[in-house]
Structure formats: C-alpha cells, structure tokens
Structure 1
C-alpha cells in the first residue's frame, strides 16, 4: 500500500504542476469546505451463533482542505485536486451510538464544461488513499483496501478568483473493515467504509 500512496502523491503533484503552467489561462489554488457523509452498512453479531444485525449509517458533517490545478481548454477544463478529507458517520449498535471516523487523501481528476455565465458542471474519477479509520468503542482493523476509486460529479460557479461548488461522491465498491468490541460480551462484525457524501467547497485561485 505504500507504493499506492507514492503513486497518488506523485500523480497529484504532476497533474497540478502541469495544469498550473501549461497555459497562461490555467492556474492553481487552494480549497476547503464541509462534507456530509454516510458510509455503507455495518453488520454485527453479539456472542456466538447470534443473528447478524445490519445497520445503515447516519450521516454526519466532516471537513476537507487541499489544493487544485486547472487547465482551461476553450469551453472545457481539466481540474485535478489533492485533498485531505475527514469524514464521519454513526451507527446504532446494540442500543448505543458509535461514530465511524475516516481520514484519507483524495485525488479527483475532473473534466468540466462551462454552461452559461459563471455556471459550470463537472465529473470525474476520484482516487482515494485511506490514512486512518476509527470506530468509537471498538477495536477496528484497517479496511481491506487502502487504495480505492470513486466518482465525483457536481456543479459550481466562478466569481472572479473565488469558486463555489457542490458535488456528490460515491465509492465504486465495498471496502470493509472488521471490528470487535472492547468488553467481555463482545460484539464483532464488519463495516463498509465506502463513502457516499455531499461536498460543499469554496476555492481561491492564486
């Protein structure tokens, strides 16, 4: 997985550097914002031979910040981003609410089109490297895959150097992590770390 992390960081630096200097109309900048996330199902059992308990996630607010580059191509543009993201969701397990927190590096590579005036729409793959995951009150293993791929799609407006956008992110495949309870009467199971989130961002072109 260390190899994948180096590939992700190298690709981000190369893409942002290329878009920043390829044309005079291109540029780079910083961005930050909030995200409302729901992970996949949690499947748990209490004791030996118990039936599985399936719980869907309740969404919670997280945050992100990072850098971007942008290459203008007439009415189209290409925009790679390198973002640190912290997401949170919660599960009701055996009568208690437990938060599931994830931190990761995201590299979306977006292709956008100008619609009218400052309005534009965009979509593209998002390559993700998980840095850490934590399930409150449980001991949890790393997810099956540190490196995953999802999809970003959304719309935004540009107001001079300031940009505002809203987008939806969805992971393509399940990426489960196993957990066990910290008490003698252990609850054990697995939780799907795949993201499903709405992201609100503000960006500033430097």
Structure 2
C-alpha cells in the first residue's frame, strides 16, 4: 500500500540521517491527548460531543543549522465522537497511524515552529449504528503545523494542528435506531481535524555520544 512507502522513508530518515550528516540528531518518544476540531452531519447541522482522544509515537530530529531542523514522526492516534441526531444516537470512532515530515525553525529560547505533510493510514473509521458497508471517505493526506518548547535537553511540550484535506465528496450513511428502523443521513466526508497536545522525551542524542567519545579518547563503540 502507498502508506508503506512513506513510512519506510520516515524510518530511513530516523536511522540514516545521523550517519550521513555529522550535525546533531535526536530521537525519542511522544504522547498526549487530542481534541476534535469539527465534523458535522450536513443535513442536520449536528455537531458532536467528543471523548478526549490519545496518541503516541516516535520522532527524530536532525538539526542542520543552529536554527533549522527536519523532524520525521510516526504516530498512532484515536478519538471517538458522539452524535445525538433527530432519530438516534451514534458514535464515530477513528483510529489512524500518521507518518509526517515536519520542517521547522527555532525562533527564540528553545521555542520552535514547524509544519509539513503527513500520510494517514486508517485502522478504524466507522459509526456504531452503521448497518451498511460503504467505505467512510477520508483523504489520506494531511497538513500538520504547530509549536514546540524544549523544557530541558530530554523533555519538551508541543501543540500541533492536524488538518486533513477535503475529499470533495458527500456520502449517505445508513444508521439503525434503537427501534430497529434504518435512517439515511447525508454527511461530509469522515475527516476529523484535531489538535494534539503532547509531551516528548529524547532518548538518543548524537551530541552526547560525541562527548563520550571525546572523553574516552576515541576508544570504544557507542550506539
């Protein structure tokens, strides 16, 4: 599938970048909570209530100057939206894996901005009351942008907006009420734009390894 190619490229960036370039490379893990931006049923104008979603993943960051960096990320996220429609209640669950390539700049005192494309692979995208199986339409491409702040060398905070491109398609959903009757609803595509609030931990830093080698006089092997 297409997403495998992009995921492979991101993984290669994690492991090949520090070997090809002699500048600082860091890698680590991240996680946190996410909130939906909007997703409504077009024929009712109904906006959902939302559970707080969660996400987690890995990241790498190559600093190719004191200011600019590239930050590949692979991230799993989950969120559930609850709708109270005219004739029934239903929930929409979305699980996905995103592979992104973010380009950023430090603007002052460990505070940075970033943006870039992301490819999305959807593990689950369905309504709880759905009785037929037309595929929920969601564009596979998204744009992510946000800010991050390095509290220490090993920990930081970030806020990121995840905007999925419009598929330009409407769809008819067949949903079953508690009385057994089936009703059709016209809906926008199934995209959910989200805000991600994360904490990240750096577990590898190439500059630390350089310092260790310098102190040891170049002896030994470091990973």
Flag whether TM exceeds 0.5 (same fold). Answer: yes
> What TM-score, normalized to structure 2?
0.78
| Gap change, CA 1:91 and 1:19, over 3 Å in 2 | farther
| Gap change, CA 1:128 and 1:20, over 3 Å in 2 | farther
CA RMSD of aligned residues (A): 2.2
Instruction: Provide the secondary structure at the position in 1 that maps to 2:135.
Output: coil
| Gap change, CA 1:130 and 1:101, over 3 Å in 2 | same
- Output aligned runs, 1:119-138, within 5 Å: 119-138=111-130
Structure 2, unaligned runs of 5 or more: 204-223
Equivalent pairs, count: 195
| Gap change, CA 1:84 and 1:176, over 3 Å in 2 | farther
Given candidates 176, 185, 198, the residue that maps to 1:189 is 185
* Higher share in strand: 1
Deviations 1:82-126 (A, max 9, x none): 001112223221254422110111012111101111111111112
Deviation, structure 1 residue 59: 4.0
Partner of 1:26: 25
> What TM-score, normalized to structure 1?
0.83
**In 1, Cα distance between equivalents of 2:170 and 2:26:** 38
Deviations 1:150-171 (A, max 9, x none): 1111111112111210111111
Range moving further from structure 2, 18-27 or 190-199:
18-27
The 8 Å contact of residues 42 and 57 in structure 1, kept in 2 or not, is answered as no
- Kindly name which structure, 1 or 2, has the bigger radius of gyration based on alpha carbons: 2
